[in-house]
Amino acid sequence: MRQNRERYLIMETVLSGIRPTGNLHIGNYFGAVKNFIKMQEEHNCFFFIADFHSLTTHPIPGDLHGHVKTVLAEYLATGLDPEKATIYVQSDVPEIPEMYLLFNMNAYIGELERTTTFKEKIRKQPDNVNAGLLTYPVLMATDILIHKANKVPVGKDQEQNLEMARKFAKRFNHMYNTDLFPEPSAYNFGEELVKIPGLDGSGKMGKSEGNAIYLVDAPKEIEKKVMRAVTDSGPTAKNQDKPEAIQNLFTLLKVVSSTDTYNYFDEKYNNCEIRYGDLKKQLTKDIIAFTNPFREKILEISANDAYLHKVVTQGAEKARESASKTLKEVRNVIGFRKF
């Protein structure tokens, strides 16, 4: 234990989370979880289930509880290891809402209103533009900074929110003349952040967009979804740019298939010989080969309530230890009562 602690002191800290709004899909996997698994080997990692964040879209309570359990089981099934990383549920850490309140005092309405994710959400849920939605980047910054994380493995959609976290860290440090917080950055092992598209022709794959392939999907379901994916009537000239819907299928091919397979279909496309039916069959086969081992594990772990309980109880304890240390420092710097 002591040795572990010393190891952590010299390791960089990593934090990331996923909202419990449904099953994990292959976008979550390639955009986030794949990196979590690699990073837990060499970093002090905190991976959490962002249940406070999911309230910004008002799920019903039964859903929330069920989805927290689902994401936890799926985290573990994909390879997150509670012995290597701290795995916890956001609402199990009361230090988070307190620090969120403090950070809200340093966040300006104008900058929050300008974030792309906020504008997108307003468009999607015009009848539910709640204050939590506006201050989402503040809560996200809190999640990161409460553990003084340096690296945040996220998908491309979170790039701007990460910029906000950096801004809040810098602002706090400047305001209180301290160097308490590091400036965290989005991380993908030096590569471009990933955006996995949906099967509906445009935009990203999302848990509640109806365009996702879930890690837990049965082979038949995957086949149905891929076969229904949007295509067009085919290229009309050689080496023509791929329209978005077609590019999306190639992006999926790139992450689940071999390079040879990708090149084969790319060449067919460039020579105007592509048959989308063949491409979809291959894509189906490769997605199933990729997700099936996860699926079996998910089903097994989901049935083990005692194990799930043990993991989050232990995770909450470790997360609170780290969070309360930072919160104490923050309270001290701000200057709350000391007598």
Q: 61-78 vs 276-302: helix axis angle to the nearest 10?
A: 100
- Rounded to a whole number of angstroms, the minimum distance from the CB of residue 21 to ligand AMP is 7
Q: Which of 69, 148, 204, 225 is catalytic?
A: 204
Distance of closest approach, residue 158 Cβ to ligand AMP, in angstroms: 4
Q: Which residue has the tokens 């460039």?
A: 270
Smaller CB distance to ligand AMP: residue 28 or 56? 28
Number of residues that bind ligand AMP (CB under 6 A): 19
- State the nearest-atom distance from the C-beta of 255 to ligand AMP, in Å: 10
For the CB of residue 147, give the shortest distance to ligand AMP in the complex, in Å.
Answer: 16
Q: Does 184 bind ligand AMP (CB under 6 A)?
A: no
Give Cα separations from 250 to 32, 33, 258, 268, 277 (angstroms): 20, 21, 12, 12, 13
Candidates 106-114, 121-129, 143-151, 155-163; binding stretch for ligand AMP (CB under 6 A): 155-163
180 near 333, Cβ under 8 Å? yes
CB-side neighbour CA atoms (13 Å) of 219: 9
Tell me, yes or no, if 170 is annotated catalytic: no
Q: Is 32 in the site for ligand AMP (CB under 6 A)?
A: yes
285 given a catalytic annotation: no
> Coil, strand or helix: which one is 44?
strand
At 150, phi and psi to the nearest 5? -100, -35
Question: Which token pair is 156?
Answer: 């491309």
Question: By CB under 6 A, which span of 28-36, 135-143, 291-299, 305-313 interacts with ligand AMP?
Answer: 28-36
Q: Which residue is nearest to ligand AMP (CB)?
A: 31
Of 15-23, 87-95, 261-269, 305-313: span binding ligand AMP (CB under 6 A)? 15-23
Amino acid at 202: S
* Contact call for residue 195 and ligand AMP (CB under 6 A): yes
Kindly name the residue from 121, 151, 225, 297 that is annotated as catalytic. 121
- Helices 244-256 and 276-302 cross at an angle (nearest 10°) of 50
Distance separating alpha carbons of residues 266 and 252, to the nearest angstrom: 13
Distance, in Å, from the CA atom of 37 to the CA atom of 59, rounded to the nearest integer, reads 28
Active site residue 204: yes
For residues 164 and 330, which CB has a smaller minimum distance to ligand AMP in the complex?
Answer: 164
155 binds ligand AMP, rule: CB under 6 A = yes
Are the C-beta atoms of 185 and 53 separated by less than 8 Å?
no
The partner residues of 197 in beta bridges, in order of sequence, read: 204
Q: Is 188 in the site for ligand AMP (CB under 6 A)?
A: no
| E strand intervals along 107-180 | 151-152
Active-site option among 69, 207, 225, 297: 207
Residues found near ligand AMP in the complex (CB under 6 A):
16, 18-19, 27-28, 30-32, 154-155, 157-158, 194-196, 204-207
Catalytically active residues are 121, 204, 207
